[in-house]
Amino acid sequence: MSAAEGPLVVGVDTSTQSTKALVVDAATGEVVASGQAPHTVSSGAGRESDPRQWWDALREALHQCGDAAHEAAAVSIGGQQHGLVTLDGHGRPVRPALLWNDVRSAPQARRLTEELGGAKFWAERTGSVPTASFTVTKWAWLAENEPEALRATKSVRLPHDYLTERLTGEGTTDRGDASGTGWWASATEAYDEEILAHVGLSPALLPRVVRPGEVAGTVRDSHDLPFAKGTLVAPGTGDNAAAALGLGLRPGTPVLSLGTSGTVYAVAKRRPTDPTGTVAGFADAHGDWLPLACTLNCTLAVDRVAALLGLDREAVEPTAHLTLLPYLDGERTPNLPNASGLLHGLRHDTTAGQLLQAAYDGAVHSLLGALDLVLDEDADRSAPLLLIGGGARGDAWQQTVRRLSGRPVQVPEARELVALGAAAQAAGLLTGEDPAAVARRWNTTRGPVLDAVERDEATLARIAGVLSDAAPLLERSTDAR
């Protein structure tokens, strides 16, 4: 490990399937140590995880960082959005956390939208129209299906809040992650009392929203972690807001993130309100906004198709007739929470490689369809797409995005951008800088730019046509489950 030029900070990404920790030189952005440990996600009727696993994974990831973590002057935690963590009076989980990709609350999402003024009300009040991903719908589901768990709950947290509170002993969150709950009003930047009353949730159960640049607390004791008591703890934020910080995004720069979920987003100065529900009007972590469209099925769904076919994920072959909508977990964009995968155009001469390419095409189509809605009308449509996430370095993903977008694509060399964004947030506490400015100083977007190719209009039109024709079938998919 080279000698650090500045103080060391720790950035954490507690994602759906693992927790990653980076020790970063606050002066240069050099990653001097890293660690990672997995989580278990249930694969039954819903998607759940025991929050205590996140803590154990954090401890393991930090210990893998060795001596460098002991020297950290500040820490920040980024995490998966939307998850519902219910705690008893001693701070222990009442039940496993309901994760963002648990779609059992789809009926509650529809009912809440109808009961409180419709989609326009929700978009104007919270910035987003609730889907099954949003925390407010999961709370409503819990009230209907597990009232005993509801009665035992004495505090409600998001995944990153849970870990931050175990570090500091204080219940805090930030505006970025709070904006994905469905009970935080984006116009007033405060919890929405009308929505909370409607779903029977007392604001006393919720964490304090810490402002950008504010200290969330300090490490209260070692907890068997390599932090000194009194180490500064930043507010943390949701994973997409953390990645936006990690890239040092300026307004209008488009990002396409390829992970378990796929997302398209850009920083905006204007508060977004999309009554169609396609774009979620999230806040970012430093005072602006982060309009975002999200799909539930991205790298995990495509990898599952590759596994079913017995293929390496790169073993794609061109196809001009096959369409695969890989909605293996239901879907959020388009909003079809009960859908399943759909294959159209299968022939005797269809190859396994063509099936796999069709899965890539279907996953990317959903994301690109929302890109124009995410970007401001004055955004440069020819600017490179920043391609990030676990799939960004895969050639098949890169070529599919290039072909279906018709835009140049830039692939940052920096890895673990959520954890890097959290580290930039921690560094900002020490230097007084905007964390995005810290990341720009670290030059985290550095990486190759792949030239634009002609957009594949035929494939886009074919997928759109199949999706339109199959919409009634996809809506009824719940009956077959």
Give me the active site residues, please: 239
- Count of Cβ atoms closer than 10 Å to residue 219 Cβ: 20
Query: Exposure pattern of 305-323 as b/e (b: 16+ CB <10 Å)?
Result: bbeeeebebeebeebeebb
Using DSSP's 3-state secondary structure scheme, residue 136 falls into helix
What are residue 7's phi and psi, to 5 degrees? -65, 155
Number of residues in the chain:
481
Q: How far apart are CA 220 and CA 214, in angstroms?
A: 17
Contacts of 142 (CB under 8 A, 6+ apart): 84, 86, 98, 149, 150
Of all residues in the chain, what percent are helix, strand and coil, respectively (each to 5)?
Answer: 35, 20, 45
What's the angle, vertex CA 83, arms to CA 82 and CA 88, rounded to 5? Answer: 130
The β-bridge partners of 385 are 409
Q: How far apart are CA 40 and CA 50, in angstroms?
A: 8
Q: How far apart are CA 26 and CA 5, in angstroms?
A: 8
Contacts of 136 (CB under 8 A, 6+ apart): 112, 130, 181, 182, 183, 195, 199
Residue (of 274, 277, 304, 247) closest to 441 by Cα position:
247
Q: How far apart are CA 134 and CA 84, in angstroms?
A: 9
What single DSSP character describes residue 205?
G
Is residue 384 within 8 A of residue 408, CB to CB? The reply is yes
Is residue 284 within 8 A of residue 307, CB to CB? The reply is no
Number of H helices, E strands in the chain: 17, 24
What's the angle, vertex CA 364, arms to CA 363 and CA 367, rounded to 5? Answer: 100
392: exposed, middle or buried (C-beta count within 10 Å: 0-12, 13-18, 19+)? buried
Is residue 54 within 8 A of residue 19, CB to CB? The reply is yes
**How do strand 72-79 and strand 8-14 relate by DSSP bridges?**
parallel
